[in-house]
Amino acid sequence: MGFRWIFVAVLVQLLLLAPARADELQQPAGRVILEVSGKIGVTNTVDSIAEFDLSMLDSLPQTHFRTSTIWTNGVHEFSGVELVVLLDALDADGTSLVMTALNDYAIDMPTSEAVEGGPILATRVDGEPLSVREKGPIWLVFPFDQKPEYKTEVTYSRSIWQMKTIRVED
């Protein structure tokens, strides 16, 4: 009996001291709402893609801001994960992002636009999850009212809703 306890104690210590693999990401338990591919170091599929369900996105550090948009009436609170946080979590190493919507609308954006205090992958507006009908489940939203430099045609065109994929490229 004593040997088993020593074995278990040593095994637990080894597991606690073993470094976590940097390229591992948990598996989605729910419906996949985002796939990230390309030049990323952290994946969860055999095809080197990072798949996310809503709870996985929610488990990343969240942020929120209040802003108006040209597509909504009034000011609303948007919440989700900052694009830069997602890219950092996936060890992204590219200079360009290609984002695609459910209807195959696609945009190109330099990764340099993914900055702290910048665009978020909004999954909620005013605390409510975004449905496909309401531009969800993911809408790339910029803090338009906090940073007037975002009020440009280029940025508006990058505010992709119903986002389904991100590809990190050179």
Domains of the chain: 23-169 (3.90.420.10)
Supply the pLDDT for residue 98.
98
Strand 96-101 to strand 34-38: parallel, antiparallel, or no bridges (unpaired)? unpaired
Supply the pLDDT for residue 50.
97
19-33 pLDDT, tens digit each = 344 457 899 999 999
As a whole number, the mean pLDDT across the chain is: 89
Q: What's the whole-model pTM score?
A: 0.84
